[in-house]
């Protein structure tokens, strides 16, 4: 029961990048993933309270560590793909049919703390969503349509909170990434800044972010308002 509850916990964000402990954990995740012939592995599956996901690229020799990953963009809901999944922390005979976004864009830190962004499609999209579910304490059983389709012992553990956990599993939220935060910062500045040159500079910055024209450039000189 304690182990089951541990799998349901939100994980702690990593702040000590490029450390010996983090490198050791990353090495163990990689070796465990290879030993299990898995596409990906989350630290939580190994009993480690840390937001880190390892992905092994199936078609190349490269591999990816995602530290503190967050999804900042998803493909349209109408393009979601059906998958049949199993999980290393559950009985191998247990398979769940579920839907995953066909593509997701993820912001993350690498082992040195450098920020990166990557869009995943196909099997890697499925894998990264599965592993990031672990980060928020969600298992594939939480995607199950009903408790009756689960083994009795799992159904009994899930009975009290399955509806709530299913709602979390189905939630397609996106985080406000670096670009989004930059836009919010510019919007806040433009609401509080009354200097005309500053407004013009903000307009130019915003146009670069959004790929639009610089509206403030066409504003007439004061006191005529720009509308």
In a shared domain, residues 91 and 197: no
Residue 191, exposed/middle/buried by CB under 10 A (0-12, 13-18, 19+)?
A: exposed
Number of domains in the chain: 2
CB atoms within 10 A of CB 195: 9
Query: Whole-model pTM?
Result: 0.76
Domain that holds residue 40: 2-170
C-alpha pair distances (Å), 97 with each of 60, 92, 127, 178, 218: 28, 14, 14, 34, 55
Instruction: Report the distance separating Cα 13 and Cα 10, nearest Å.
Output: 10
Three-class SS state of 168: helix
Same domain as 140, residue 49: yes
Catalytic residue among 85, 131, 179, 214: 131
Is residue 227 situated within a structural domain? no
Three-class secondary structure of residue 207 per DSSP: helix
Can you tell me the mean pLDDT for 168-190? 78
Can 131 be counted among the known catalytic residues?
yes
pLDDT tops 80 at residue 188: no
* pLDDT of residue 195 exceeding 90: no
Is 154 in the same domain as 203? no
In a shared domain, residues 105 and 206? no
99: β partners: 82
Who contacts 66 (Cβ-Cβ below 8 Å, separation ≥6)? 52, 53, 54, 55, 106, 108, 109, 128
Identify whether residues 8 and 80 lie together within a single domain: yes
Residues 72 and 17 in one domain: yes
Asked, for residue 136, whether it belongs to a domain, the answer is: yes
- Quick one: pLDDT band at residue 145, thresholds 50, 70, 90? confident
Tell me, yes or no, whether 40 and 56 share the same domain: yes
The predicted model gives 29-38 an average pLDDT of 91
């Amino acid at each position: 029961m304690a182990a089951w509850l541990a799998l349901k916990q939100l994980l702690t964000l990593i702040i000590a990048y490029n450390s010996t402990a983090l490198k050791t954990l990353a090495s163990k995740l990689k070796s465990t993933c290879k030993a299990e012939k898995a596409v990906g592995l989350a630290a939580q599956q190994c009993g480690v309270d840390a937001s880190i996901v390892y992905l092994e690229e199936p078609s190349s020799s490269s591999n990816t560590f995602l530290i503190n990953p967050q999804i900042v963009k998803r493909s349209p809901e109408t393009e979601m793909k059906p998958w049949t999944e199993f999980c290393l922390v559950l009985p191998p005979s247990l398979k769940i049919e579920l839907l995953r976004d066909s593509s997701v864009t993820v912001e993350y830190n690498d082992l040195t703390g450098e920020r990166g962004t990557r869009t995943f499609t196909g099997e890697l999209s499925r894998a990264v969503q599965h592993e990031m579910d672990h980060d928020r304490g969600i298992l594939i059983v939480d995607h199950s349509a009903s408790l009756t389709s689960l083994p009795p012992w799992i159904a009994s553990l899930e009975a009290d909170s399955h509806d709530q956990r299913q709602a979390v599993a189905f939630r397609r939220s996106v985080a406000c990434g670096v670009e989004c935060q930059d836009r919010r910062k510019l919007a806040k500045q433009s609401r509080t800044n009354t200097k005309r040159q500053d407004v013009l500079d903000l307009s130019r910055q915003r146009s670069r972010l959004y790929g639009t024209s610089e509206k403030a450039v066409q504003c007439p000189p004061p006191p005529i308002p720009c509308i």
